Each structure stands twice: as structure tokens, then as C-alpha cells.
Structure 1
């Protein structure tokens, strides 16, 4: 019987895949019926259900990504639930179009069962990413039109 990956191992594989830009591989880290919530997303969906939905989302990100990410200050905290970890880290972000380099903070609360992510609550600094792309005027306009 193959050894099941721990929540810590799964998170590390996820983070390594994101920073390496291997978005086509990421959906395989999630359970078929996974639920991912991007709690602080200012626009667009904040909840994604199912591996196939995430596969489509990761394909969109790969096709339109204008940033390079490097992770730093990674801290993974165990909880009293062996399926759940809390990961904190920073992205050093380089925006290819604006040339700006900046930092964005992140927290993820992951539930991993049988080596797959079954639930993730993601707290990313979307405002830093928007400002780094000079996208603040577009964000304000979009929010005013909601």
C-alpha cells in the first residue's frame, strides 16, 4: 500500500508547483469533491467546488499569468486535527509587465485527507497583487459597477 502524503507534504508540493508555474499539475493535489474558498478575493468567485473546476481555474491562471512568484518566510503550523494545517508565507512577486517587485502575504488553512486537499480556505493579499499590476483604477471601477 503506498504511503499517504501528510498535509505538510501536500502543501509543500502545492507551493512548489505554484512557484515553478506548473499549474497543469496542481489540480491533482485536490480531491474530486474539494472546496476552495478565496476569502478575500475582491471580485469574481470566492468559492470553487470540485477538482474539474480547479483544473479550469489553474488553466486560466497559467494562460494569463503576468507574474513570477518566489516563496519566503514559510511557516507551517500543525493543529489539534491531524488533517488540518495552517500555512503562512510571503510571495516575492515580480510583475513582468509593470516591472514592479513587491511582497504579498498569504495564509492557507488546508484539510488534507488520504493525501488530497478536501478543503482550503485561502487568505491572499489580493490588494497587493492588484496594486503591483497598476490595477487599482480597474478594481475601483469594477466595485462601483457591482
Structure 2
């Protein structure tokens, strides 16, 4: 049975909550594309599951914990597409500092796999937190 876009989003949320970033890659199609036009220092465009897996490995090793909150899901006329608005409530484990990151993400799911995402995260806030000095 193929997962729906909402089921993929729910599964993705559970994986993120438990910090198992590497497990996300298997839910992307072999030729999937991920676009992050607001990423810093420059936009990111990942093509293919291998590139996505490599990118997720960076998140897996980052000193951050995430919880997805304030979710609003928008169904579209295209049954493959789901638009999600949500916040990450995050904690930098190297400082203990907690913060929020606003997100809007478009998912295109076909045959139970993510074939495309467009991710509009507040990368500025994330970058500031990663640059914050560790507490003693």
C-alpha cells in the first residue's frame, strides 16, 4: 500500500522527533528533487536520493533537536501535493538554547515516495543558533 502525502508528512514528523534523520532518505524517490531557495549562504538544490541522503547526514550530526508544532496542512487540487505550514521548536544541544523556526514546505508524493519538496525554512535563525558559542 502506498503512503499518501499526509501519511508521509506524519511519518517524517515522527522520524524528526526521534532524531533519526538518516531514515528519511528511504522515503524519497531515486530521482527526487529537494529545493531550498532560502538556504544560506546560497540556495540548495538536491537531485537524487544519494544527494538527499548526504544532506540528511549533515542534519544527523548537527547539535540540534527538533519538534514539529503548530502544523497546518493544506490539501490541494493535485492529489500528489500537500503544503505544510509548521514551526520547529528546536534546541541547540551544545548551548541548551531553545528557539523556533518557521517553515512552509511543499511535498509532492507519487506511489508512496517523495518525488519533490520545496522547503521554505528560516535558515537565518538556524545559522545564528549553529554559530552561537557552546556553554561551559
Where 1:8 maps in the other structure, the secondary structure is: helix
CA offsets, 1:41-77, max 9 Å, x none? Answer: 01255100001111111122212x1111111101111
State the alpha-carbon separation in 2 of the partners of residues 55 and 37 from structure 1.
14
Instruction: State the aligned residue count.
Output: 132
The residue aligned with 2:36 is 38
CA offsets, 1:69-107, max 9 Å, x none? Answer: 111101111001000010011011111122211111111
Determine which of 117, 120, 126 is the counterpart of 1:120: 117
With the length of structure 2 as denominator, give the TM-score of the two structures.
Answer: 0.91
- Bigger drift between 39-48 and 5-14 goes to 39-48
State the alpha-carbon separation in 2 of the partners of residues 116 and 55 from structure 1.
14
The residue aligned with 1:25 is 23
The residue aligned with 1:10 is 8
**Which consecutive residues of structure 2, in runs of 5 or more, have no partner in the other structure?**
none
Q: Does 1:74 align with 2:71?
A: yes
Could you say which structure has the larger radius of gyration? 1
State the alpha-carbon separation in 2 of the partners of residues 60 and 129 from structure 1.
13
CA contact (8 A) 1:101 1:132 kept: no
The residue aligned with 1:47 is 45
The residue aligned with 1:61 is 59
Where 2:85 maps in the other structure, the secondary structure is: strand
State the alpha-carbon separation in 1 of the partners of residues 42 and 129 from structure 2.
19
Where 2:105 maps in the other structure, the secondary structure is: strand
With the length of structure 1 as denominator, give the TM-score of the two structures.
Answer: 0.85
State the alpha-carbon separation in 1 of the partners of residues 22 and 50 from structure 2.
12
